[in-house]
Structure 1
Amino acid sequence: MQQLDLFREIIVDNFAGGGGASTGIEMATGLSVDIAINHDPAAIAMHKANHPDTEHYCESVWDVDPVKAVKGRKVGLAWFSPDCKHFSKAKGGKPVEKKIRGLAWIAVKWAIAVRPRVIMLENVEEFKTWGPLNEDGYPDEMQKGKTFNSFVKALESLGYQVEFKELRACDYGTPTIRKRFFMVARCDGKEIKWPDPTHGDPNSLAVKAGKLKPWRTASEIIDWNIGTPSIFDRKKPLAENTLRRIARGIGKFVINNSNPFIAPVNAVSFMAKHYGGNYTGAGTDLREPLSTITTKDHHALVTAFLAQYYTETNPNEVRGQSLEEPVYTIPTANRFGLVTAYIAQHYKSSLGHELSQPLGAITTVNKASLVQAFLLKYYGSDVGQSVGEPLHTVTTRDRFGLVTIKGQNYQIVDIGMRMLQPHELYAAQGFPSNYIIDRDHEGNPYPKTAQVARCGNAVPPPFAEALVRANLPEYCVQHNRYKPAVSY
C-alpha cells in the first residue's frame, strides 16, 4: 500500500473510468494516482483491479468535496476527462443533456477549492464549440464556443495560464489514429510544454531520416492465434449488409490491391489445421522473396483487413481499413471485424484453366466455388445466387477472385471473419499487455460488453504519459511496473 505522505503533492483523476489516464500517469511517474473518482461502479471495479493503492470515490464528481478528499495535501496534478458524448460529432441528431454537457466546470471547482498546480483536461475535438443550447435542446449555432471561452477565462481569472491543442494518439506510439482535444493549465509560473511526436507517417521525411519511428499499425494488435472462422460454415448466416461489407473490402484491400497485407505465418498455420495440405507462409514484408513453390504442395498466404460496422450512407462505400495503418478511433461498442482471405496456389485445380473456358462444376463442398459465387455477386450490385446453379457470367478476372502477388497468381479458397476481441482493442488503445480487463478487483468476471465500453471511453495511456513527462518531469521515472503494449 502507498503510505500517506502529507508533504508529497498528490495526483487526482476525475472521471477515472477504467483507468486509461491513470495508467498513463503511472507509466510516467511509477506511482498510482492518489484519488480516482467515477460514478459508475463497473468502471471503478476495473480501476480498482489495476490500481489497488488508489483511494476510490464511486460517486458523482459534484458530490466529492475537494478539500475533504485531499486531506490537507497539495495537488500537483488534477486530470479531467468529462463525458464527451454531448460534444462528439458521433452523437447524431438527438438533443443534448445540459447537465452532462456542463461537467467540465468541475475543473473550475477544484481550481477554486484546492488550486492544483497543473490541470489537464481531455475531450473530443468539438469541445471547443461548447456553447448555450436553444429552446429545443440543441447547440445554438449562433453561439458556438461562447461557453468554452467563458470556461477558459474562468481558469485564467484564478491565476492559471491556459493552452490547448489537438493531438493524435498514433503520433505517440499508440496503434490508433484517435484524435483528441487537450487543455493544460498551470498556476506555478512554469511554461506549458507539448510533447514532441515520437512516431509519424511511414512515408514522411522525418521517418525516412530516422528522426521519428513509423506509426504502429493495426497488424500489431491482431491476435493471429485466434483464427477467423469461415463465413460459409456458420450456423446462422451472416446478414446481407455484413456480406456486402466483406465483399467490398475483399475487392478493395485484396483483389484490387497491388500490395495486399500478408498475415504472419501463424495465421497460415491456422489455415493448414482446417484445410489440410502443406502450407508455406510469408511474413508481412512483401519485399522478401516468397518461399520456394513446388508442384507437390500448396503455397498459401492469408491476406487480411479490418471491416467497420457502421451504417453506410453510400451503398458502395467501403467501411474498412488496411492493417498497415493505425486502427481508426475505437468507440464504446465493438465496430471492428477482422476479415481474412485465404489464398492458395493449386496446380491441379481450376486455377490453371483458360478464362474463356466454362468453369468446372460447382458443388456444395467446394469452398473455392462458394467464394467465387459470393465474390462475383456481392462485390457487384446483385444480391447473390445459389451455389447449386451455374455460376453467373464472369466478366473480368478480378471478379473471379484471383489475386496476383509479386507476379504469382493466387485463388481465394475461403474467407474468414470475426470481431476483434477486447484484449486486441485495449492493445490498440495503447494499454499495457498486463492490464486486467476480464475481472474486477474481487475476481468476479467482467463481461465483454463492459470491457469494450471501458475501452472506447478510455484515454489512450500513451497520451497521458507523454503530457505528464513533458509538463511534470520532476514526477517521472525511467521505468515502471507496466509491460509495453502487446504485439502479436
Structure 2
Amino acid sequence: MSLRSTVYFAGWGGDSLGWEEVPGIELRLAANHNPVCVEVHTLNFPDAEHLPPGDVEAIDLATLPYTELFWASPACPAWTDAKGRKRYFDKSNQYTLLSDDELGTVIEDPAEARSRGLVEQIPRYLRAMAGRGTPVLAGVMENVIQCRRWDQWDRWLRAIESIGPGYETRVIALNSMHAVPRRCLPAPQSRDRLYVAYWLKSLGRRPDWDKWLRPKAWCPTCDRVVDAVQSWKQPGIDMGRYGARHGQYVYRCPAKSCRFQIVEPFTVPAAAAIDWSLDPGEKIGERARPLAAATMERIRIGLAKFAGESFLTPAGGTWRADPTALSAPMPARTTRESDGLVVPPLIVQTSKRADLTARSTGQPLPTQTTRRELAVAIPPFITSLRGGGSRKTARHVGEPLGTFSARGFHHGLVQPPGSTAVVEQLAGTREQLLVPYYRTGLARPLTEPMGTLTTRDRHGLLGIDPDRILAECTFRMLEPDEIRAGMAFPPTYIPIGDKRTQAAGYGNAVTPPVPEVIGCALVEAITGEPIERTAA
C-alpha cells in the first residue's frame, strides 16, 4: 500500500529523509517559506512537488492534492529557551503581573507571536482535508519541548482530536540519540524534541509505540540487554528532557527482578561525526586572535574533566557551557557554529625500535636521536561555544553531541594532554609531580605514596602549569560535514551555501531516525501489516 505524504515547513529535509525510509511512504508535496531550503529540498527530493517559497498561511488548501500523511515542523525559535529571552506564552493570563513597562502591558515581538501561531496551521490543514471528505489518516507535529508549556496547548490538542471523524493523539518526548532506526543513520547527538503523533480513530488500531520507541540498554543487574522503558520522575509530566540528574525522565529496565533499575540506553558517540583527517587546528597559545575568555574557561573545565582526551567546547551563545567528551553524544545542534574541537597533543615515537608508550606533553620527551622520529598525535573533547546552562560543560568524544541549533557553529573540538597525573593537576588535587631520578622510576602525583626512598637524594618536585598545557592544545570549529554527520544526514546529501548557511540548515532540521521510527509505527497502524524492526 502506497501512502502519500505532505510535509509543511520542510526545511533542510531531515523529516523527509526519515519519512521516505518508512516502507510504503511516498513524499508527494513539500512547502517552506525559505527559498534556500526549498532549493536544497528540491535537489535532494526531485520526485516531490515543491510549492513556491512563501507563507504557509497563504496556501490555498483547496488546490492542494490529497495525501494520506502529513508532517509539520513549525518554526521553533519563538518557543525555545535557547534565545535567552523572557517567556510569556505559558502565562498569558498573568501578563499584567509580568509586565515589561510601567503600564502593566507586555511588550512582545509580533513576529514571535506569529511564529508560535504557525502550529495552528496543522488543525487548519486537517480540517480542510476532512471537509473535502478525504481526512488525513495520520501525521506528526515536531517542535522543541518548551512548546508543551504553551497555555493554549490543551485547547490545540483537543482541536486536532475533534476534527472530522476524530483522531487519537500521542505526545512523545524523544531524544534523537535514543531513536533506533531501521535504515537511517543513528544520531550521535543529544537532541530533546517534542512530537505529537495523531491517527484516525476509525482505523481501529493503535501504533505499537513500545516496539518503535524503546531503546536498547544494558541492565547490569539482569546482566543482559533490555528494551528500556521511559520513566517520568514526577507523575503527570509528559514532556521534558532526558537525564538522571537534570532531566525530567530516565529509562528503566522492565524487569521486576532488578526493581526496575535505571539504565543508560546505547548511543553513538560524537567521535563518529568527527572527520579525523582534517587539520586539528591552531594551538590555542599561537592564535592571532585569542579565544574569548568564556571559551578559555570552558576549555579549562574540559581539560580538568577529560585531560588526555579530545573534547568539544562551547564557543558562543547563552544556553550551554559544559565541555563534551568525544565518547558522548554531541550537544544538540543549533543553527550557529557553537562548538570548537580542542585537541591536546601526545608525543609518539615512530621508530620501530622504540617502545609503544605514547607520552603526554606534560611529560619529558624521550631521548632525541639524530633522526626525525617523534610525532604529535592528537586525541579530542567537545565544548560548546554558548552560555547559559552550557557555560561549564564538556563532552567526551565517546558521548553523543549536544544539540545543534539553527544559529550556527557552537561546537569546538579540544585536545588535552593524556597523563593521568595531568588530569589530577588540572582537577585541582595538586599542581606538582614527584619525579624519581633513577632509570626505572615513574613520575607520581602527590596524591599517591612516594616511591622507595634510598640513601641518596633521588626525588625531584616538578611543577605543572595548567595554562601552558592549555596553550599547547589545538582548537578548531566543527566543519559543515561534521555537523551533517552529527544530525545523522547521509554523506550523499546535497547542501548549498556557505558554512553558516549549511550550519543553519542542518541545525534547524529534524534528525532523520526519529521520523523513521514514528512513521513505521503509524504505517503499521494504518495498514495492519507489521514492519520488521531491523531492515535486511
Q: Is this a same-fold pair by TM over 0.5?
A: yes
Partner of 1:424: 482
- Structure 2: which amino acid aligns with 1:156? E
Provide closer, same or farther for how the CA distance between residues 299 and 290 of structure 1 changes in structure 2, counting only shifts above 3 A. farther
CA–CA separation in structure 2 for the residues paired with 1:451 and 1:42:
10
Partner of 1:152: 157
Question: What's the offset of the Cα at 1:325?
Answer: 1.0
Q: Would you say the 8 A contact 2:172–2:196 is kept in 1?
A: yes
CA displacement 1:403-430 (0-9 Å, x = unmatched): xxxxxxxx88931110111111121111
Q: Would you say the 8 A contact 1:342–1:413 is kept in 2?
A: no
Provide closer, same or farther for how the CA distance between residues 129 and 400 of structure 1 changes in structure 2, counting only shifts above 3 A. closer
Q: Would you say the 8 A contact 1:13–1:80 is kept in 2?
A: yes
Alignment equivalent of 1:98, drawn from 113, 123, 134: 113
Partner of 2:42: 48
CA displacement 1:427-485 (0-9 Å, x = unmatched): 11111121112x3xxxxxx1111111111111100000011111114599889xxx9xx
CA–CA separation in structure 2 for the residues paired with 1:301 and 1:224:
11
Question: What's the offset of the Cα at 1:211?
Answer: 4.1
CA–CA separation in structure 1 for the residues paired with 2:375 and 2:498:
40
Partner of 1:228: 280
- Structure 2: which amino acid aligns with 1:120? V
Partner of 1:63: 58
Provide closer, same or farther for how the CA distance between residues 290 and 107 of structure 1 changes in structure 2, counting only shifts above 3 A. farther
Provide closer, same or farther for how the CA distance between residues 356 and 221 of structure 1 changes in structure 2, counting only shifts above 3 A. closer
Alignment equivalent of 1:12, drawn from 6, 11, 15: 6
Alignment equivalent of 2:409, drawn from 307, 315, 334: 334
Q: Would you say the 8 A contact 1:184–1:192 is kept in 2?
A: no
Q: Would you say the 8 A contact 2:176–2:191 is kept in 1?
A: yes
Long gaps (5+) in structure 2: 87-107, 130-134, 180-185, 228-264, 311-323, 328-340, 360-365, 421-431, 436-460
Q: Is residue 2:323 matched to residue 1:251?
A: no
Partner of 2:334: none
Question: Which structure is higher in helix share?
Answer: 1
Partner of 1:376: none
Kindly report the root-mean-square deviation, in angstroms, between the aligned alpha carbons of the 2 structures.
Answer: 4.1
CA–CA separation in structure 1 for the residues paired with 2:15 and 2:37:
13
CA–CA separation in structure 2 for the residues paired with 1:339 and 1:254:
10
Q: Is residue 2:477 matched to residue 1:457?
A: no
CA–CA separation in structure 1 for the residues paired with 2:385 and 2:502:
18
Provide closer, same or farther for how the CA distance between residues 277 and 171 of structure 1 changes in structure 2, counting only shifts above 3 A. same
CA displacement 1:129-179 (0-9 Å, x = unmatched): 112xxxxxxxxxxxxxxx111111111211111221211111113211111
Q: SS of the counterpart of 2:212?
A: coil
CA–CA separation in structure 1 for the residues paired with 2:416 and 2:401:
19
Seq. identity, %: 25
CA–CA separation in structure 2 for the residues paired with 1:313 and 1:126:
16
Alignment equivalent of 1:323, drawn from 397, 413, 422: 397
CA–CA separation in structure 2 for the residues paired with 1:59 and 1:21:
19
- Structure 2: which amino acid aligns with 1:436? I
Q: Is residue 2:291 matched to residue 1:215?
A: no
CA displacement 1:18-44 (0-9 Å, x = unmatched): 101011111224765110010010111
Q: SS of the counterpart of 1:28?
A: coil
CA–CA separation in structure 1 for the residues paired with 2:470 and 2:376:
10
Q: Is residue 2:71 matched to residue 1:79?
A: yes
- Structure 2: which amino acid aligns with 1:118? A
Q: Is residue 2:383 matched to residue 1:307?
A: yes
- Structure 1: which amino acid aligns with 2:277? N
Provide closer, same or farther for how the CA distance between residues 240 and 169 of structure 1 changes in structure 2, counting only shifts above 3 A. same
Q: Would you say the 8 A contact 2:271–2:326 is kept in 1?
A: no
Provide closer, same or farther for how the CA distance between residues 207 and 152 of structure 1 changes in structure 2, counting only shifts above 3 A. farther
- Structure 2: which amino acid aligns with 1:85? P
Partner of 1:196: 212
Provide closer, same or farther for how the CA distance between residues 355 and 400 of structure 1 changes in structure 2, counting only shifts above 3 A. farther
Alignment equivalent of 2:195, drawn from 160, 165, 182: 182
Question: What's the offset of the Cα at 1:398?
Answer: 6.2
- Structure 2: which amino acid aligns with 1:217? P
Provide closer, same or farther for how the CA distance between residues 355 and 469 of structure 1 changes in structure 2, counting only shifts above 3 A. closer
CA–CA separation in structure 1 for the residues paired with 2:121 and 2:477:
37
Partner of 1:414: 472
Q: Would you say the 8 A contact 1:17–1:457 is kept in 2?
A: yes
Question: Which structure is higher in strand share?
Answer: 2
Provide closer, same or farther for how the CA distance between residues 30 and 225 of structure 1 changes in structure 2, counting only shifts above 3 A. farther
CA–CA separation in structure 2 for the residues paired with 1:291 and 1:30:
54
- TM score, norm. by length of structure 1: 0.67
- Structure 2: which amino acid aligns with 1:108? P
Q: How many residues align?
A: 379
CA displacement 1:269-307 (0-9 Å, x = unmatched): x979xx996289xxxxxxxx9669986755865331011
Question: How is 1:329-478 mapped onto 2 (pairs within 5 angstroms)?
Answer: 329-332=403-406, 333-341=408-416, 399=465, 414-437=472-495, 439=496, 446-473=497-524, 474=527
CA–CA separation in structure 1 for the residues paired with 2:433 and 2:147:
57
- Structure 1: which amino acid aligns with 2:380? A
- TM score, norm. by length of structure 2: 0.62
Alignment equivalent of 1:130, drawn from 143, 150, 159: 150
Q: SS of the counterpart of 1:465?
A: helix
Q: Would you say the 8 A contact 1:78–1:120 is kept in 2?
A: yes
